[in-house]
Structure 1
Amino acid sequence: MGRMIEVKNLTRTYGDHTAVDDVTFSCKPGRVTGFLGPNGAGKTTTMRIMVGLSSASSGEVTIGGYDYHDIPNPGHHVGVLLDAGAQHSGRTGREILTIGARTMRLPASRVDEMLEMVSLTETESRRKLRNYSLGMKQRLGIAHALLGDPEVLILDEPANGLDPAGIRWMRDLLRGYAGRGGTVLLSSHLLNEVELVADEMVLIGRGRIVAQGDKLSLASLDTTESTLVTALDSEALVRGIEASGWSLAPEGDGFRVAAAPADVSRAAIEHRIVLTDLRSGAAGLEDMFLELTSTAQREGAAAPESLASISSAKGSHR
């Protein structure tokens, strides 16, 4: 197993509208890459170009070094789920998988294996697609993507319609798949769905990449140091913190201090202040995601070239 997805300077325009704007990123074997951004940010367009359903205005996408159209019997190499409802609504789930298996010259037993893998019962498999819930359609779509035992999975919003147990099941499935050397690209507009499974994340807003990297490098974009703190004696806390040279402002039941938690703790000890809560006030990954993508959606900000440049750009927005 192991094929890399490489997106290089990809642009797609529709008249005066630029849906994807000079996008560059890669997805590595053995890793789950989360492709994150608000609805309308360009995720689906990028993924459609990857699998040959739309053409690029400029730039290119390769999978294992090949254009998707040049991969022989692509279902054996690339599993795709872009729209769980994009099948004939009058066919049963079993019929849909059987047609896919025949197209890929797979044994009929593969259909039963996939139905069992995605927990669709025999009764459910014989229902027509029009009678499937959204969650069942997603499970069937994932089964179809995995039919050919591909090396690469490209999944657009696969958690839509899944209940909490289904989301956990999908997370475990994708982790196991990447653990065996597969390459996974997983899109979502909800960071908390992807954060637990993704090794790498690519954030897109208004068709442009606004940040990319692992969770640690993305979290490091927040260069501001602050602490949220409460104390038994709020007036003593204010006096002690100000005497130590730090500024603070009311927030919630306590204060936000422009200092690291360790500095605030030392000041409290020095001034004999009993703290009832002390935590980092740095923005979490979700805050970072919302700020970066919403800024791009509002302003059409130019795509930064590196994490460092994002950090400096972020500072200029504050």
Structure 2
Amino acid sequence: MITVDRLTKSYGDYTAVDDVSFVCQPGRVTGFLGPNGAGKTTTMRVMVGLTLPTSGQVTIGGVRYHDIPNPGRHVGVLLDASAQHAGRTGREILTIGAKTMGLPMSRVDEMLKLVGLDDTEAKRRLRNYSLGMKQRLGIAHALLGDPSVLILDEPANGLDPAGIRWMRGLLKSYADRGGTVLLSSHLLHEVEQIADEMILIGRGRIVARGDRATLLAQASGGPSALVVSLDNAALSQGLSARGFTVEPAGAGLRVGATPEDVGRAALEAGIVLTDLRAGGAGLEDLFLELTSGAAREAVPGVRTSAPLNGGLPA
């Protein structure tokens, strides 16, 4: 478990993280989302002792990171995939990590296989790695000690679509085994497919949190559905008779009702639907609206207002 308690980090007059509190639970993937410069990386650096907080604290399993003996066996960290000696090979980097943590050398081969780096790639020096290969090696290093907690900053950066799908499956499997995952990103679409809970941060402050359903309810401002049928006129008449608001939308209709309500009305009227989906504001809309004040670009239409290693609780 990761507990962030009233964390604040200031640099002179600039406050990078402002009174932030949240908890990451075992067995769940927590998405930590925000635009560039919102305070995500600063928060994660404080978590692992690389930056001292101005006030507040972060504990992992009830203990501050620098008080954890052999922390790599309990907390896997990936903050910068390039933060390794560029002249070392991938295998050498993992070997040094394994020796530091007191792990058997067989663990190096296990991790290389897990992240899909073959023997030729493992012998290549880091300076010759693509960004995607560096990310895979960084994930391998984070998992090397079989930790109960993972803290990952933008792990999908540089991965191709197949690599992103692989990473999602890997992290989901890790959480299903009881691990705690904190996943930072500015790519909402990727995170919402894996995260059990999402925390949105803007200008150093938490602006929203919850699971996907909770955030969608907050974004929509009421039920809404988009529907296309073989007889839109008849469907519109039937929905209006039920008291729902109906207005044209492209090739179909926007209805002030849930998709279930629309589907039920169409079934009773014997009208064939060719498309039906939720039509309220999506998570991306909510994300852009709530963090627009921290975005560098103006956004049109958006207001600017196997059990895991033990030793520590996950």
Relative to 1, partners in 2 of residues 1:14 and 1:274: Cα closer, same or farther, differing over 3 Å?
same
Q: Do the aligned residues in 2 keep the contact of 1:98 with 1:108 (CA within 8 Å)?
A: yes
Q: How does 1:234-273 map to 2 (within 5 A)?
A: 245-261=243-259, 264=262
How many aligned positions are there? Answer: 298
Flag the 1:36–1:274 CA change in 2: closer, same or farther, 3 A: same
Amino acid at match of 2:200: L
Structure 1 residues 243, 166: closer, same or farther in 2, change over 3 A? closer
Say whether residues 1:224 and 2:222 are aligned partners.
yes
Aligned partner of 1:148 among 123, 145, 164: 145
One of 104, 111, 115 as aligned partner of 1:114: 111
TM-score by length of 1: 0.83
Counterpart in 2 of 1:128? 125
* Partner Cα separation in structure 1 for residue 254 and residue 133 of structure 2: 46
Q: CA deviation at 1:210?
A: 1.4
Q: Tell me the secondary structure at the aligned position of residue 38 of structure 1.
A: coil
Report if aligned partners of 2:36, 2:295 keep a CA contact under 8 Å in 1: no
1:229 positional shift: 3.2
Choose 100-109 or 138-147, whichever is displaced more: 100-109
Alignment CA distance shift 1:256-1:144 (3 Å): same
TM-aligned CA deviation for residue 137 of structure 1: 0.3
Q: What is aligned with 2:309?
A: none
Counterpart position of 2:178: 181
- How far residue 190 of structure 1 moved from its aligned partner, in angstroms, is 0.8
- Aligned CA distance change for structure 1 residues 109 and 243 (closer, same or farther; 3 Å): closer
Pairing partner for 1:64 from 61, 65, 76: 61
In the alignment, the residues of structure 2 paired with residue 70 and residue 175 of structure 1 have an alpha-carbon distance, to the nearest angstrom, of 28
* Letter matched to residue 179 of structure 2: G
Separation of aligned partners in 1, 2:264 and 2:91:
65
State the 1:216 CA deviation: 2.3
Alignment of 1:199-214 (within 5 A): 199-214=196-211
Q: Residues of 2 paired with 1:196 and 1:262: CA distance?
A: 23
1:33/1:198 contact within 8 Å kept: yes
**Aligned position for 1:279:** 277
After superposition, the CA RMSD in angstroms is 2.7
CA contact (8 A) 1:33 1:186 kept: yes
Of residues 157-166 and 289-298 in structure 1, the stretch that sits farther from structure 2 once superposed is 289-298
Verify the 8 A CA contact 1:33 1:201 in the aligned structure 2.
Answer: yes
C-alpha deviation, 1:182, in angstroms: 1.4
- Relative distance call for 1:147 and 1:267 in structure 2 (3 A) is closer
Percent of aligned pairs with the same amino acid: 72
Q: Partner residue of 1:289?
A: 287
Partner letter of residue 248 of structure 2? Answer: P
CA distance in 1 between partners of 2:172 and 2:250 (Å): 38
1:11 aligned onto 2:2: no
Tell me the distance in 2 between the aligned counterparts of 1:205 and 1:152: 25
One-letter amino acid of the counterpart of residue 286, structure 1: E
Structure 2: state its 5+ residue gaps.
297-302, 306-314
Shift of 1:268: 6.4
Deviation at 1:97, TM superposition (A): 1.2
Distance (Å, rounded) in 1 between the aligned partners of 2:85 and 2:268: 71
Tell me the amino acid that sits aligned with residue 289 of structure 1. Answer: F
In the other structure, the counterpart of 1:21 is 18
Segment of structure 1 superposing worse, 137-146 or 205-214: 205-214
Is the partner of 2:134 in helix, strand or coil? helix
User: Is the 2:292–2:304 Cα contact (8 Å) retained in structure 1?
Assistant: no
Letter in 2 for 1:146: L
C-alpha spacing 1:132/1:216, structure 2 compared with 1 (3 Å): same
Q: Distance in 1 between matches of 2:276 and 2:116?
A: 45
Q: Give distance in 2, aligned partners of 1:125 and 1:25.
A: 38
Q: What amino acid does structure 1 have at the position aligned with 2:291? A: T
1:76 to 68, 73, 76: 73
Cα distance in 1, alignment partners of residues 243 and 214 from structure 2? 30
> Which residue does the alignment assign to 1:89?
86
Q: Normalising by structure 2, what TM-score?
A: 0.84
Q: For the structure 1 residues 37 and 110, does the alpha-carbon distance in structure 2 shift closer, same or farther, using more than 3 Å as the test?
A: same
Gaps of 5+ in 1: 299-315
